[in-house]
């Protein structure tokens, strides 16, 4: 994905906000149609049927009819894609889009370019034998730093060719998505990076992802995802405090919230940048990249409320805020993105190793014991005495593809017998008691 900051004029901004409103309206209609569906009913309308309904709706509603048909149809297309990918994307069923929260729309290129097969021959229509013409986004370079792109109803909109856009090269794609968040417009071109060649050295790297150290590599390196500085965090709190104290309905309130949001956006940008750089490094320097298999969705599940024994019908508060904080910490590390981008850049060279016991298994002798993990950072094998940084030890296990295979060694002297399964063979849990990181009952041996 190449993403660029857009700089529309005031008039263009108004038009683009209207596009956002139309796209959101159409998307939410589609969500509503599908939410209405129940077992036994006729299936909800698909993309083609929805497009027909859209044409009808455009005739009935003046507001919708005045908008751009392509933008509205692309919203339906996005919905169809999200619906198709609901089991694999990790986002589940497509949900409502909200004003101010999810502002964006997709633009389909208006340029027509001939399409080619993979072997370089022109792609021909199977029925008519004519050349198949594909879409292409119309972009124009202005100078070294600036370019512009055609947006329906707005003409040329300028965007800045950042260094992130790969040496100020112009993006070429069939469609692009315009988003408006935290007062900034961005254009994201759906460009999947070309997978580079493997280095061919046969080297295998294991990566253990954690909250303290974002990525511990099996060659001993520890990589950290940049986060907000202490000063930036203080600034966010300051703006949030000012916003909270501002009188209701004043201009100051939204302005202060916007300032806080802009600072928070900085963190997300840094994280994305770090993931891109790190995944490129991994894809370029190693033949096989092994990640420990994580279920981030389960790990960041909300803490279950506990009933309060003293006040029937009410719930205890303790622990839930802490779990929310831990969730924020996990999500701030960009674990999922790193894995995804590495897969894009090194297709077929990324593997998932089941996570249980990777942090408790001695990478030297294979002994699994919870007592070996002395603390968050220290690993001392209770069988052979091997010492190592706990995260590095785990990543070496991941590199070796070891972890899920539980091999008790009853003959080993120290450490005693390790039960085959049961909750006491686990990583040291966070200080806050009673907040499971993994869901209970998860089959660790699978």
The residues that touch Zn ion, with contacts defined as CB under 5 A, are 362, 364-365, 367, 381, 383-384, 386
CB of 372 to Zn ion, least distance (A): 7
DSSP conformation letters of 15-62 = HHHHHHHHHHHHHHHHHHHHHT--TTSPPPP-HHHHHHHHHHHHHH-H
| Nearest CA among 291, 396, 407 for reference residue 353 | 291
d(CA 225, CA 332) in angstroms, rounded, equals 9
Nearest distance from C-beta of residue 357 to Zn ion, angstroms: 13
Shortest distance (Å) from residue 413 CB to Zn ion? 11
Task: Kindly tell me which of 243 and 394 has the beta carbon lying closer to Zn ion.
Answer: 394
**CA 339/CA 343 separation, integer angstroms:** 6
Name the residue nearer to Zn ion (CB basis): 217 or 362.
362
Closest approach, Cβ 7 to Zn ion, in A, equals 58
Question: Toward Zn ion, which CB reaches closer, 15 or 359?
Answer: 359
Q: How far is the CB of 410 from Zn ion (least distance, A)?
A: 15
> Which tokens belong to 71?
């933008």
Nearest residue to 23 (alpha-carbon basis) of 81, 83, 84, 104: 104
In the complex, minimum distance from the CB of residue 393 to Zn ion, in angstroms, rounded to a whole number = 10
The DSSP letter of residue 304 is P
- Burial zone of 101 (CB within 10 Å; 0-12 exposed, 13-18 middle, 19+ buried): exposed
Q: Can you tell me which residue has the tokens 């999810």? A: 102
Tokens in use for 405? 């295979």
Measured from the CB atom, is 136 or 387 closer to Zn ion? Answer: 387
Q: Which 8-state DSSP code applies to residue 9?
A: -
Other beta carbons less than 10 A from residue 159's beta carbon: 25
Contacts 24+ apart (CB under 8 A), 233-237: 235/263, 236/260, 236/263, 236/264
**How near is the Cβ of 219 to Zn ion at its closest, in Å?**
20
What's the rounded Cα separation, in Å, for the pair 209 and 275?
A: 13
Measured from the CB atom, is 214 or 393 closer to Zn ion? 393
Looking at the Cβ atoms of 244 and 365, the one nearer to Zn ion is 365
Answer positive or negative: Cα dihedral of 432, 435, 436, 441: positive
Q: How far is the CB of 168 from Zn ion (least distance, A)?
A: 52
Tokens representing residue 192 in the block: 């999947």
Q: Which is nearer to Zn ion, 203 or 364 (CB)?
A: 364
Please identify, using beta-carbon distances, which residue of 179 and 387 lies nearer to Zn ion: 387
- 188, 174 contact by CB (below 8 A): no
Residues in the chain: 446
CB of residue 426 vs Zn ion: minimum separation in angstroms?
A: 19
Least Å distance between CB 207 and Zn ion? Answer: 22
Report which of 198, 151, 201, 204 is spatially closest to residue 178, judged by C-alpha positions. 151
| DSSP code per residue over 361-375 | B-TTT--B-GGGB-S
The Cα–Cα gap between 4 and 411 comes to 60
Distance CA 75, CA 118 (A): 29
| Nearer to Zn ion among residue 47 and residue 386 (C-beta) | 386
| 156 versus 386: smaller Cβ distance to Zn ion | 386
With respect to Zn ion, which residue has the nearer C-beta, 285 or 389?
A: 389
């Amino acid at each position: 994905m190449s993403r660029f900051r857009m700089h529309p004029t005031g008039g263009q901004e108004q038009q683009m906000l209207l596009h956002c409103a139309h796209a959101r309206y159409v998307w939410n209609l589609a969500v509503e149609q599908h939410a209405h569906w129940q077992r036994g009913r006729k299936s909800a309308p698909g993309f083609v049927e929805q497009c027909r309904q859209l044409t009808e709706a455009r005739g009935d509603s003046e507001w919708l009819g005045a908008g751009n048909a392509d933008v509205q149809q692309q919203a339906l297309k996005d919905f169809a894609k999200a619906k198709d990918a609901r089991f694999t994307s990790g986002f589940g069923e497509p949900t409502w889009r909200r004003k101010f929260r999810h502002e964006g729309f997709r633009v389909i290129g208006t340029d027509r370019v001939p399409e080619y097969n993979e072997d370089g021959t022109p792609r021909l229509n199977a029925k008519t034998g004519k050349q198949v013409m594909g879409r292409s986004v119309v972009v124009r370079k202005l100078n070294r730093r600036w370019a512009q792109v055609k947006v329906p109803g707005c003409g040329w909109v300028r965007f800045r060719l950042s260094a992130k856009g790969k040496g100020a090269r112009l993006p070429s794609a069939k469609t692009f998505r315009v988003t408006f968040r935290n007062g900034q417009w961005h254009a994201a071109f759906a460009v999947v990076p070309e997978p580079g060649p493997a280095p061919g050295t046969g080297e295998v790297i294991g990566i253990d992802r954690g909250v303290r150290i974002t990525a511990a590599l099996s060659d001993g390196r520890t990589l950290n995802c940049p986060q907000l500085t202490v000063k930036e965090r203080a600034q966010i709190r300051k703006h949030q405090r000012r916003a909270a104290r501002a009188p209701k309905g004043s201009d100051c309130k939204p302005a202060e919230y916007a300032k806080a949001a802009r600072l928070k956006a900085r963190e997300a940008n840094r994280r994305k940048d770090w993931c891109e750089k790190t995944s490129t490094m991994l894809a370029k320097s190693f033949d096989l990249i092994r990640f420990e298999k994580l279920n981030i969705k389960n790990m960041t599940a909300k803490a279950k409320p506990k009933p309060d024994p003293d006040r029937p019908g009410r719930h205890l508060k303790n622990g839930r805020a802490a779990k929310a904080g831990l969730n924020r910490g996990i999500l701030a590390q960009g674990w999922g993105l790193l894995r995804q981008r590495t897969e894009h850049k090194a297709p077929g060279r990324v593997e998932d190793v089941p996570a249980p016991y990777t942090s408790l298994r001695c990478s030297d002798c294979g002994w699994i014991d919870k007592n070996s993990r002395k603390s968050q950072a220290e690993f001392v094998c209770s069988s052979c005495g091997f010492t190592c940084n706990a995260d590095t030890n785990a990543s070496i296990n991941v590199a070796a593809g070891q972890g899920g295979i539980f091999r008790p060694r009853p003959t080993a002297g120290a450490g005693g017998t390790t039960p085959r399964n049961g909750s006491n063979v686990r990583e040291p849990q966070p200080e806050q008691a009673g907040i499971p990181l993994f869901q209970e009952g998860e089959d660790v041996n699978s």
